[in-house]
Amino acid sequence: MKHLVAPSLLAADFTRLAEEVTMVNESQADWLHLDVMDGHFVPNITFGPMVIEAVRQLSTKPLDVHLMIRQPERYIEQFRNAGADVITVHYEACTHLHRVVQQIKETGAIPGVSINPHNSVSLLEDILEEVGLILLMSVNPGFGGQKFIYNTLLKIQRLRERLTIRNLNARIEVDGGIGLHNAEKVLQAGADVLVAGSAIFKSENPTDTIRRFKEIGGEMRKFV
């Protein structure tokens, strides 16, 4: 199956949120990526379940919720009730990651785990079987519009190798600094899901940019 594209709403014009979500609805995007930040785990603060609930009413795409918050276990239910289809927590933000992943599964959402650029994919070795998605941060989380950290390509390759060897079908999602100039490399390294904020919403024709992201080559992989 072809890779997925998940526009990150963080880069959208919030004075025209409904229009931006409608643009995504009418595009070839697969998921809508929503970045929740708490001002503790990351320096920035964005939005919470209330805004996601509103977006849920407008969006026809699955909601891919990326929690950049400490102690996410306190809010899993709320985000699920707000309409999250995928809930990703950070390895660095969970003391009992395995428990949080089970908690996400119990809500019926797809559980995802993310690591920051300085952390090795080997840290996820014992949780791989439990998750539906691994989100590799290719910038330090907190802000859109940052530069892609190229070491991420090696991490994607290593993770792809581990998933293949173990015959696991969790998706590899990559987030931060992705544009039409480097997306092919990211896909060739073994990514399944591309998140892009500025590259889409700040472009002249976001719908067309999404189409171009979808049309980029890259390995074809079969998902379950």
Check binding of 175 to Zn ion (CB under 5 A): yes
Check binding of 196 to ligand DX5 (CB under 6 A): yes
Nearer to ligand DX5, 44 or 168 (CB): 44
Question: Which region among 80-88, 142-150, 154-162, 211-219 touches ligand DX5 (by CB under 6 A)?
Answer: 142-150
Check binding of 66 to Zn ion (CB under 5 A): yes
Distance CA 83, CA 91 (A): 22
Whether 35 is a known active-site residue: answer yes
Check binding of 30 to ligand DX5 (CB under 6 A): no
Check binding of 171 to ligand DX5 (CB under 6 A): no
Q: Which of 63, 114, 70, 58 is nearest to 88 (CA)?
A: 114
Scored b (16 or more CB within 10 A) or e, 70-85 reads: bebbebbeebbebbbb
Q: How many helices (H) and strands (E) does the chain have?
A: 8, 8
Among residues 30, 64, 175, 192, which one is catalytic? 175
Q: State the binding partner of 198 from Zn ion, ligand DX5, none, CB within 5 to 8 A by kind.
A: ligand DX5
Distance CA 218, CA 183 (A): 9
Q: State the binding partner of 144 from ligand DX5, Zn ion, none, CB within 5 to 8 A by kind.
A: ligand DX5
- Per the listing, tokens 């590799």 go with 136
- Binders in 40-79 for ligand DX5, by CB under 6 A: 66
Q: Which of 2, 4, 3, 5 is nearest to 209 (CA)?
A: 5
Q: State the binding partner of 136 from ligand DX5, Zn ion, none, CB within 5 to 8 A by kind.
A: none
Whether 126 is a known active-site residue: answer no
User: DSSP string spanning 40-56?
Assistant: SSSS-B---HHHHHHHH
Q: Which two tokens stand for residue 89?
A: 């927590």
Question: Which region among 117-125, 134-142, 150-158, 211-219 touches ligand DX5 (by CB under 6 A)?
Answer: 134-142
Mind telling me the catalytic residues?
35, 175
Please report, as ranges, the residues that interact with ligand DX5 according to CB under 6 A. 8, 10-11, 33, 35, 66, 139, 141-142, 144-146, 175-178, 195-199
